[in-house]
Chain A
Amino acid sequence: MSPFLLRTSVKFIAPIQLALALYFLLRGHNEPGGGFIGGLAAASAVLLYGLSFGIQEVESKLPVSWFSFALFGLSLAVFSAFISVFVNQPFFTGIWGPELYAPLVGKLKLGTVLLFDIGVFCLVMGFGVGLGFTFFAKEAER
C-alpha cells in the first residue's frame, strides 16, 4: 500500500491531535485532562507523524533530543516545586497567580501547579516519543 493516504491524512490529523493534547493539558485542572493525558496524546501525535514520514523528518525539526526534552520536563516539575521555598513557604506549596480567560479552555488560573503539569506533560511526551523512535530506529537498522 502506498503511504500516500496515510501521509495525507496524518498531515491533517497530527496538528489536530497536538492541539487537542494542549487543550487537555490546559483544561486539566477543571475538566478531564491534565499533563499526563495531554502528554500521551501529544506523544501519539508525534509518533504517528514519525511513523508515516520517517523519524529524521521529525528529529531534524527539533533542536534537542527527546531524552533532553523529557529531562527538561522533569526539571521544570522540580523547579515548580521549589518556587514556594523561595517565598518562604514549605516545599511544593502551590503559588497562584492571576486568572486568565483563554479561548476554548475557559478560565485558566496561572500558578506553580500549572507549571508542574506542563513539566509532567513534557516528560510523558518525551518518554513516549523517545522510546517509540528508538524502537523505530532499531527496526530501520535491520
Chain B
Amino acid sequence: MKFRTSCYSLSGASAVLCIFAIWASMNLDAPYYLAFDWLPKVGLRISFRVDSFSLFFVTLICGIGSLVFFFCAGYLPGDKSRSRTLSILLLFTLSMLGLVLSDNVLLLFIFWEFTTITSFFLVGAKCEKKEAREAALQALLVTVAGGMALLVAILLLFMAAGTLELSSLEANRQLIQDSPLYPVILILIAAGAFTKSAQFPFHFWLPGAMTAPSPVSAFLHSATMVKAGIYLLARFHPILGETVLWHDLLIGIGAATMIVGASLALARTDIKALLAYTTVSALGMLTFLLGLGTTLAMKAALVFLLVHACYKAALFMVAGSIEKLAGTRDLDRLHSLGKMSPALWCAAALPALSMCGLPPMLGFIGKELIYEAKLIAPTIDELFLLIGFTANALTVTAALLAAVKPFIPRTMDSPPKRKLTLPLLAPPIILGIVSLACGLFPTWVGDNLLEPSFQALKGEPSQIKLKLWHGVNPVFILSVLTLVTGALIYWIHSYFARMVSVVERWSSPFAPERLYAQLVKRFVQFASLQTRLAQNGSLNFYLTVTLCFASLLLAAAFFSLPEKAVDLSLLIHLKTSLIILGAAAAAVLSIRAQSMLEAVLLLGVVGLGVTLFFVFYGAPDLALTQFLVELLLLVLIASIWSRLPAFRPDTPKREKRRDLFAACILGVFLSYFVLQAVFLNEHNAISEFYAQNAATEAFGRNVVNVILVDFRALDTMGEITVLAIAMMGIMSLLKTRKTKR
C-alpha cells in the first residue's frame, strides 16, 4: 500500500510539473537563465537555460513520467526490487530534466552520464538473471563509449570557441564551423548522440535492454532517454548544422537506421523486442529529419517526437499489461486477448492507430509533414524517399502485429474475462486520448507547444500551421499507399519474417553485436593476462617492484643534482641520534624476529621513533597522526591475527639477499635525499604563503589543518572519497566471501 502511495504522489508531482511546463511554454517570451559560478578562475559555471525547446522536452519527460509512475503502481508490486526501481526511476527523471535544461555543455554532459548510469541500473533491475546483467552492461558500455566521445568533443569545442555555454556557442557558430577541428567535433558529437539514440551500427543495445521492466522501457527506451541523443543533435543544429558533412552524416546514418530497425522488427516474436526495433527505426527517422535541416523537416521532427513518445510509451505499457494478463509476451503464443480484456484492446488500438498514421490521430499529421518535408527537400535522392516509404510501411505492419495479432482469436474457445487493475489500463488509454486530442486540435498544439519550441531552437518562426486535412495531394496519396502496403505486408508477414531471419543469419558474422562481443572478450583476455603478469598475488613481489622503481627514480634524480653535499649537522644532536639509534636497532631486530608478534611490535617501535622525531621538530600534527595510525594498525593486525600466513623466519638465502639488496638501495637513496632536503627547499614561496595567510584569510592558526580543510580542501575531498571507495571495496570483498560459504 505504501509503495502505491509513493507511485501516485510521484505521478501527481510530475503531472503538475508537466502542466506548469506547458503553461510556461505558452507564456515565455525570452529564455530564462539561471547561473552559479562554480570555479570562476577556470571558467566553469553551473548554468541553466529555460527556453521553449527545453520546455517541450520537460513536458514530454514529465507527462510520460507521470503516467509511467502511475503505471508502476500496477506493474511493480510483487517485484522485490520495486522500491529500488522506483527511486532510480525518479533519479533518472531528475537527471533527464537537468540534461534538457542545462546551458553549460559540461553540465549537460554530467547529466548525460547520469542518465546512462541510472539506465544501467534500470535495465539490470532483475539482476538475478544473467541476461539482464549482460544487457545492462552492454547498454552501459555502448553509451559510455559514446559519452567519452562527447566529452572529447566538448573539450575540442572549448578549444575552438573558448566557451562552454550553449547560448554563446550559438553566437560563435561561424568561428566553430571555420575551425579545422570542426569535422572532428561534429563526428564525435554525432558518435555520442548515435550511441545514446541507438543509431545503426550501435542500435543493438536497445533491443537488448528489453530485459528491463515494462515501465522502464516505456519511459527510457521510447520516450525520453533515447531521445536525449536527438535532443543533443537538435541543440547543436544551430551550431554545427547546415554543412555538407552534417547533412550527409545524419541523413546516411538516419536512413540506414530507419530501414534496418523496421525490417528487423518484423522478425521478432517478443512484443517488446518488436517495439524496440520500431523505436530504433523511429529514431533513425528523427536523425534523418535533423540531417535534412530544412524548416519543414525540423518542424516535422518536433511533431514526430511528440507523436512517437505518445504512442510508443503507450504500447510499451500495453506490452507490460499483456505480460501481466497472459504471462507471456510471445506473439506466436498470444491470441484472443481481446476477449479476455476488451479495455486492454482499446488501450492498444488507440496508440497503434497513431503509429500507423491514420486520421484523425496526431500520427497522421506527423507522417504527412514528414512526407512533405522529404518531397520538397531540394537535396535528397529518390532513394531516401523509397527507404522512408518502406520503413513507414513496415512500421504500419509492426503496429498491426502489436495491437491486432495478440487480440484476435485464433481458436473457437473463448477464454475467461479478466479484469486488469486501473493503473495497468489507464496510462496507455490516456496517452491514446492525448494522441487523438492533439490530432483533433492540431492548431492549439502547434501554436502553444511546437511553434514556440521551434522558434527557441531556430530563432525564427516556421510559418507552418498544423492541419489535419490538406486535401488530396501527392502527400496524402503517399500516406494511403503506405497504409495499404503495410496492411499487405501484415497479411504475408510470416514469409517476410522468415526472409529477414535468413538475411540476418547470413550476415551475422558482420553484425555489430558480434563485433561488440568479440571486443569485450578480447579486452577481458588482455586484462586477465595483464593481471597475471603484474599482480601475481605475492606481497613480496609487489614491494620489491615498488621499491626498485622508487630507487631507480631517486638514482636518476641523484645523478642530475648539481650540488651533492649533505648537511650532517642534524645528526649531531644527542636527542636525534638517540632516537635514530633506537629506531634503527628496532628495525634491525625486526629482521631477525622469530615470531610475528615480535616483528609487529618492533616495527611499532620504529614508527614510534619517527613519531618522536616529529614531536621534537615541531610537527605535532604529524606526530599525532603517525601515532594514531600506528595504534590503529596494531589493532587491525590483532584482529586478523589468526588469518595471517604462517611466519617464516627461514626464507631461502637467495630471496633474503634479494630483499636486503632492494631495501638497502632504497634506504641509502632515501636517507640521502632527506638530508639533502635542507638544500633543495629553495622555492618555499608556497609554504610561506600558507603560513602568512592562514590566520588572516582562513581564521586558523594551525597551518597544517588550514591547508587540509581550506587552502587545499579539494585535495582532501579527493582523498576522503578514495577512502570511502576503498572501504566499499574491502567490505564488499569480505562480505561476498561470507555468503559463498
Interface status of A41 (Cβ within 8 A of chain B): yes
Residue of A nearest to B623 (CB): A32
Is there an interface contact between B636 and A131, defined as CB atoms closer than 8 Å?
yes
Known contacts: A28-B702, A30-B700, A37-B628. The answer to whether A131 contacts B709 by CB under 8 A is no
Known contacts: A90-B38, A123-B724. The answer to whether A40 contacts B628 by CB under 8 A is yes
- The A interface, classified by DSSP as helix, strand, loop or mixed, is helix
User: Whole-angstrom distance between the alpha carbons of A131 and B633 in the complex?
Assistant: 11
CB distance from A108 to the nearest CB of B (A): 11
Is there an interface contact between A30 and B624, defined as CB atoms closer than 8 Å?
no
For chain B residues 659-700, which have a beta carbon within 8 Å of chain A?
698-700
Interface status of B588 (Cβ within 8 A of chain A): no
Residue of B nearest to A48 (CB): B635
User: Whole-angstrom distance between the alpha carbons of A96 and B623 in the complex?
Assistant: 29
Chain B residues near A54: list those with CB within 8 A. Answer: none
Interface status of B730 (Cβ within 8 A of chain A): yes
Number of A-B contacts (CB under 8 A): 153
User: Whole-angstrom distance between the alpha carbons of A41 and B283 in the complex?
Assistant: 58
Is there an interface contact between A135 and B705, defined as CB atoms closer than 8 Å?
no
Interface size on B, residues (CB 8 A): 52
Chain A residues near B39: list those with CB within 8 A. Answer: 90-91
User: Whole-angstrom distance between the alpha carbons of A38 and B732 in the complex?
Assistant: 26
Interface status of B183 (Cβ within 8 A of chain A): no
State which size class the interface on A falls in. 35 or more
Chain B residues near A142: list those with CB within 8 A. Answer: 642
Residue of A nearest to B635 (CB): A47
Interface status of A70 (Cβ within 8 A of chain B): yes
Residue of B nearest to A139 (CB): B639
Residue of A nearest to B36 (CB): A85
User: Whole-angstrom distance between the alpha carbons of A71 and B621 in the complex?
Assistant: 25
Is there an interface contact between A44 and B720, defined as CB atoms closer than 8 Å?
no
Chain A residues near B709: list those with CB within 8 A. Answer: 28-29, 34-35, 113, 116-117, 120
Is there an interface contact between A67 and B728, defined as CB atoms closer than 8 Å?
yes
Chain B residues near A127: list those with CB within 8 A. Answer: 723-724, 726-727
Residue of A nearest to B619 (CB): A32
| B40 touches which of A36, A81, A90 (Cβ 8 Å) | A90
Interface status of A22 (Cβ within 8 A of chain B): no
User: Whole-angstrom distance between the alpha carbons of A64 and B620 in the complex?
Assistant: 34
Interface status of B324 (Cβ within 8 A of chain A): no
The stretch that binds A, out of B5-13, B377-385, B453-461, B710-718, is: B710-718
Known contacts: A29-B702, A47-B635, A139-B642. The answer to whether A77 contacts B628 by CB under 8 A is no
Is there an interface contact between A67 and B628, defined as CB atoms closer than 8 Å?
no
Chain A residues near B699: list those with CB within 8 A. Answer: 29, 96, 109, 111
Chain A residues near B720: list those with CB within 8 A. Answer: 73-74, 77, 119-120, 123-124
Interface status of B528 (Cβ within 8 A of chain A): no
Interface status of B721 (Cβ within 8 A of chain A): yes
Interface status of B386 (Cβ within 8 A of chain A): no
Is there an interface contact between A28 and B705, defined as CB atoms closer than 8 Å?
yes
For chain A residues 99-142, which have a beta carbon within 8 Å of chain B?
109, 111, 113, 116-117, 119-120, 123-124, 126-128, 130-132, 134-136, 138-139, 141-142
For chain A residues 50-93, which have a beta carbon within 8 Å of chain B?
51, 67, 70-71, 73-74, 77-78, 81, 85-86, 88-92
Is there an interface contact between A34 and B636, defined as CB atoms closer than 8 Å?
no
CB distance from A124 to the nearest CB of B (A): 7
CB distance from A127 to the nearest CB of B (A): 5
Interface centre among A32, A71, A130 (most CB of B within 10 A): A32
Chain B residues near A138: list those with CB within 8 A. Answer: 640, 643, 734, 737-738
For chain A residues 7-35, which have a beta carbon within 8 Å of chain B?
24, 28-35
CB distance from A64 to the nearest CB of B (A): 14
Is there an interface contact between B643 and A139, defined as CB atoms closer than 8 Å?
yes
Contact indicator per residue, chain B 621-649, by CB within 8 Å of chain A (1) or not (0): 10111001101100110111111000000
Q: A91-B39, A120-B716 are in contact. List 17 more A-B contacts (CB 8 A).
A: A28-B709, A29-B706, A31-B701, A33-B624, A33-B702, A35-B709, A40-B629, A47-B635, A67-B727, A67-B728, A86-B36, A90-B38, A109-B699, A120-B708, A132-B632, A132-B639, A141-B738
